[in-house]
Amino acid sequence: MINSAARTTLLFADRFPFRYLAEDYGLTYYAAFSGCSAETEASFETIVFLSGKVDELGLTTVLTIEGSNSKIAGTIVAAGSENVQILSVDSMQSTTSSDVENGTSYLAIMADNLDVLTQALN
């Protein structure tokens, strides 16, 4: 998938618990917060920087993680190019034992994440 992708950059308008994934697959990434930061408000400078990256790189997708209110992503999209979608990647940080009992599986979550990443990189 990566070798045939139109893009190799991910932009997260959120925390970024996927650094190792990005590095393992040679992806460039930008994020509002490093790692699993507890911060919830991005600075004005961060929003402007990320919005500029969307335009500069011709990105069509801004990513968030599961459970995000997507407020930062919405601001980034509103400040930049048109036709940019907001999609969510599941870090499994909020998966509960009840979710697992109801059929949620690691494999299913990763398959959904693959679909999201495929959209983001094409």
pLDDT tens column, 16-70: 899 999 999 999 999 998 756 666 688 899 999 999 999 999 999 999 999 889 9
Give the closest residue to 122 by CA, choosing from 9, 3, 5, 1.
Answer: 5
What pLDDT is stored for residue 38 in this prediction? 62
3-state secondary structure of 63: strand
pLDDT of 82 above 90:
no
**AA letter at 105:** S
Name the H helices within the chain: 19-24, 44-57, 71-79, 97-101, 106-121
Q: Whole-model pTM above 0.75?
A: yes
